[in-house]
Amino acid sequence: MAEFIDAHGVAIVYDVHEAQGEPRGVVQLAHGLGEHAGRYGALIAALTEAGYRIYADDHRGHGRTGMKQHGGDATKLGKLGPGGLRATRAAMWQFSELIRAENPELPLVLIGHSWGSFLSQWLLNHHADAYDAVVLSGSALLSPTTLSPLPLNRAFEGPQATGLEWLATEEGVWGEFRADPLTTEQPLLKLFGLADAMRLYELPAKHLPRNVPVLLMVGSEDPVGGPVSVHKLAKAYRERSGLTDVTTVVYPGDRHEIFNEKDQEKVRADLLAWLDHRIPPAA
């Protein structure tokens, strides 16, 4: 475990997971809202086995960063603190710069899930030259008409509903999320407030300066954006941003957390296969 200090004095906690053998690339892993990097163990293991060095932080207000930032008060997890979303984005870019400085010769892959994918979209829009490939899981086109305003568990409500069915089809995922002392179930609007929630809206930039390969992965039953929104995002990257290598994969029956789904081995295999065609193996 390591940390860096952002522009507001917040200590951002992160881990570095070493590649098995000579590293072929480095991955910046961005987790979702209300969770932390520790929930990505299986994905991290697959990536390190494939030769990637992983940098995974707990974002501002989240996980170990949030506990330290909020003086150990778990009821404040998810609150971003001074500077809000703008400061969180700046800290994410600061983390990218740290990773680049420590790995100047290695290709940098940005992998973001859910809210982490929204942060990753912002990074791609404003710092496209920094990344050699971008992977967005459980993402959406960030506009008021394509990012669902409805309660995320609405489609799964019933007498026995836990409120977490939207995460995955596997019941164990719901229980593990709820039992985790570093997660929160508070909705985004309550955590961020209206102003920062509105700041999430940002379409892919026009005419990006670098033709970055982008992989979009989504479950067919994902209530955050789902395939319709993700296909619109892919179209925007092609037509607005000018990207020519944009791939979309939809997983039938999967919900939001595809890396925790019943077919997670296939999801990881698809990700690694896509990367194999874009990041050459170490010499």
2-157+166-276 CATH choice from 3.30.465.10, 3.40.50.1820, 3.40.50.1970, 3.30.360.10: 3.40.50.1820
Cα–Cα distance measured from residue 249 to residue 231, given in angstroms and rounded to the nearest whole number: 10
Domain boundaries defined on the chain: 2-157+166-276
Q: How close are the terminal C-alpha atoms of the chain, in Å? A: 29
Cα–Cα distance measured from residue 197 to residue 191, given in angstroms and rounded to the nearest whole number: 9
Burial class (CB in 10 A: 0-12, 13-18, 19+), 109: buried
What's the pLDDT score for residue 282?
Answer: 80
Non-local CB neighbours of 56 within 8 Å, separated by 6+ positions: 14, 15, 17, 28, 29, 31, 37, 40, 44
pTM above 0.85, yes or no: yes
What's the pLDDT score for residue 242?
Answer: 98
Cα–Cα distance measured from residue 114 to residue 100, given in angstroms and rounded to the nearest whole number: 23
Q: Is 107 helix (H, G, I), strand (E, B) or coil?
A: coil
**Structure-token pair, residue 214:** 């982008």
Cα–Cα distance measured from residue 91 to residue 69, given in angstroms and rounded to the nearest whole number: 14
**Structure-token pair, residue 275:** 């990367």
Residues in the chain: 283
Non-local CB neighbours of 172 within 8 Å, separated by 6+ positions: none
Cα–Cα distance measured from residue 96 to residue 55, given in angstroms and rounded to the nearest whole number: 9
Tell me the pLDDT of the chain (283 aa) as tens digits.
Answer: 899 999 999 999 999 999 999 999 999 999 999 999 999 999 999 999 999 999 999 999 999 999 999 999 999 999 999 999 999 999 999 999 999 999 999 999 999 999 999 999 999 999 999 999 999 999 999 999 999 878 999 999 999 899 999 999 999 999 999 999 999 999 999 999 999 999 999 999 999 999 999 999 999 999 999 999 999 999 999 999 999 999 999 999 999 999 999 999 999 999 999 999 999 988 7
Q: What is the DSSP letter of 60?
A: T
CB 2 within 8 A of CB 10: no
What's the pLDDT score for residue 283?
Answer: 72
Parallel, antiparallel, or unpaired for β 25-30 and 52-57?
Answer: parallel
Q: What are the beta bridge partners of residue 217?
A: 137, 249
What's the pLDDT score for residue 214?
Answer: 98
**Structure-token pair, residue 86:** 């703008």
Non-local CB neighbours of 25 within 8 Å, separated by 6+ positions: 51, 52, 53, 106, 107, 108, 109, 132, 275, 279
Buried b (16+ CB within 10 A) or exposed e, 220-230: ebbbbbbbebb
Cα–Cα distance measured from residue 269 to residue 264, given in angstroms and rounded to the nearest whole number: 8
Question: Of 57, 231, 69, which Cα lies nearest the Cα of 141?
Answer: 231
